[in-house]
Structure 1
Amino acid sequence: MKQQHHKRYRKLSLAILIATLLPLILYAMLAFQRPPRVELSQTLFAGITYQRQIRNTPRAIVIHIVHVDLTAPGIRVIVSPSVDDRPANPTGPSRETIAQTTTEFLSTAQLQIATNGSFFYPFEEKSPWSYSPHSGDRTHVLGQTIASGIPYASPQDDWYPLCILAPQRVLISSQTACPENTEFAVSGLPLLLSDGQVALPEDFGRNALESYARLVAATNATGTELWLVAVDGKQPFYSEGMTLPEVIELLQSLGATDALNLDGGGSTTLVQATPNGSKVLNAPIHTKFPMRERPVANHLGIYAQPLE
């Protein structure tokens, strides 16, 4: 009896040990897939360059910067469309889009660059196995959103849009609605820069001063240049993120005059098309696991021509 009891105890102890170590082993395996903490600068497509910046003070930070020359031939910026005009629940709020990861969107639309886009709901993250939305779930975006000239989410107070007016021009509006004839739009908050001046409200909230994973869109004064900046976060010793004042300082150093904070945190994802398939340029962290992409409500996408 004692031997049987001892064997059962050993099996139970081994099962507990495996259950404890498995998430740590998985985390370590995924952590090794993150982009190296090495600075990099390269041209990805005609009119599109990429930089990876590394900082060690005031904390570990990895920054990914995509610069788009909108005057380059073949450049086109889009926002993912709505699924249709019917709510998922006829008696509840409208849910205009179907959640996808950024890689799924890039592959489906055959884009060259893609990022996540709007803030959205519903969202829940309880554990690596319990979260929403999953890919294919219906979702609702916040702030004015337009795809191919068709609005599918209305303007809201304090939500500012990135307006794609034509293939060669974008505008980050200080109003909550884009000009007429806007082709595509996605909204965020807060507004960070407007006409070269800092626009971040002093009373925006604690989040502004927290080190956090960020996704930001910025433009120059003429709207002919677009920057998409992804800051990795939530990953001690690799990248702990940036505060919004730090992001504003970075954008000003790049030459941006207007900038908007888009959905960040675990949604922050930047993906590139390559001849061998999609490549995640940053280190997203969904459900606390690095390199795991979060399904989100909509995306920004860029078409571009290959390098000669």
Structure 2
Amino acid sequence: MQNRYRVYIRRLLIAAVATLLLSPALFYGFLCLFRPSRTDEQQVLFQGIVYQRRAISQPRPVTMHIVTVDLTAPGIKPFVTPGNPHKGRRKTFARTTSAFLQEFQLQLAVNGSYFHQFYEKTPWDYYPHSGDPTRPLGESISNGLRYSQSQSDKAVICFGKNNLAQIIANGKCPQDTIQGIAGQEMFVAGGKTVTAQISENKPYPRLAAAINREGNKLWLIAVDGKQPFYSEGLTLTELAQTAIALGADNAVNLDGGGSVTLVMDKMNKSQVLNAPIHTRIPMRERPVSNHLGFYALPVDVKTSTSK
């Protein structure tokens, strides 16, 4: 009887230790169930906004999300995270992209600029958390107010009063810019890859904003990465080729890695369309310094034009 009790206790301990050791893998696998399916898909999200998902297998698994925005469509209006009204070096307070979308009642949003300060050590030891002060790198303009200084090595996308967009390689938007947000390099110019601007070229989670020559069409390209067998990311050269194939004349590289997040409004709640990987946890959003969002009309709302 005593031997049976010892065997039972030993098995119980083995099961407990095995569960403890396997729990991170089980948790990771559970979260993977919430990632978007690796299937091709296309749908109209809002008036003037079309979403496309591409699942690529070669030369490596890649899941890519492409949003096409018609900047001339009724109701379309870009919007950049506002700056901190208090003076100081900390220009914004960190938010997730979903929080940004909900706070300003937007229909679509992505993360934006590279920023300082940032570190990521463990799932609980990272900076910034939501609400922490941050400083976006490069020029940031929200509703005509410039709250972050331009940098010559941080290309910027600028939206004017007429909603048309332009990407400026030297990082300085025109004076009449209403919304502006900086990235890193301008890696497509004049419909060609700017190879001189590509300093690193490994597969990675990416986010790019690209425009056509007229500046009336915008593409947001969000590439998932750091997730073996699901999506390992694109190189900048591959990202440039993707943008050019869409019809882009110019493109800027926005903040990548675990920051890459694409969300949309669905019945007044945020829906994440890609697979973020903050602190190596699938579907966990990273709080970031600023964002680029869009107001848009539902597809079932009819608009009229006056003559």
Q: Give the structure-1-normalised TM-score.
A: 0.92
User: How many percent of aligned residue pairs carry the same amino acid?
Assistant: 46
> What are the residue-to-residue correspondences of 1:151-300 with 2, within 5 Å?
151-201=146-196, 204-205=198-199, 207=200, 209-275=201-267, 277-300=269-292
Task: Name the SS of the counterpart of 1:245 in structure 2.
Answer: helix
5+ residue gaps, structure 2? 301-307
Shift of 1:149: 0.8
CA distance in 2, matches of 1:145, 1:172: 13
CA distance in 1, matches of 2:207, 2:25: 27
State the match for 1:100 in structure 2. 95
Counterpart amino acid of residue 102 in structure 2: S
Counterpart amino acid of residue 277 in structure 1: K
Counterpart amino acid of residue 138 in structure 1: P
Q: Deviations over 1:246-267 (max 9, x none)?
A: 0111111100100000001000
The alignment of Structure 1 onto Structure 2 pairs a total of residues equal to 299
The 8 Å contact of residues 191 and 200 in structure 1, kept in 2 or not, is answered as: no
Shift of 1:18: 3.4
Q: Deviations over 1:22-79 (max 9, x none)?
A: 2111111110100000100110000000000111000000110000001001100010
CA distance in 1, matches of 2:191, 2:247: 9
Q: Deviations over 1:258-284 (max 9, x none)?
A: 000000100000001012621100000
Shift of 1:86: 2.4
Task: Name the SS of the counterpart of 1:233 in structure 2.
Answer: coil
State the match for 2:296 in structure 1. 304
The 8 Å contact of residues 66 and 220 in structure 2, kept in 1 or not, is answered as: yes
Task: Name the SS of the counterpart of 1:253 in structure 2.
Answer: helix
State the match for 1:84 in structure 2. 85
Q: RMSD of aligned C-alpha atoms?
A: 2.0
5+ residue gaps, structure 1? 88-93
CA distance in 2, matches of 1:166, 1:295: 29
Q: Deviations over 1:189-242 (max 9, x none)?
A: 11111222322426x43x3x2000000000000110011010000000000000
The 8 Å contact of residues 161 and 172 in structure 1, kept in 2 or not, is answered as: yes
State the match for 1:139 in structure 2. 134
CA distance in 1, matches of 2:34, 2:21: 22
Shift of 1:82: 0.9
Counterpart amino acid of residue 30 in structure 1: L
State the match for 1:90 in structure 2. none
Deviates most, 191-200 or 145-154: 191-200
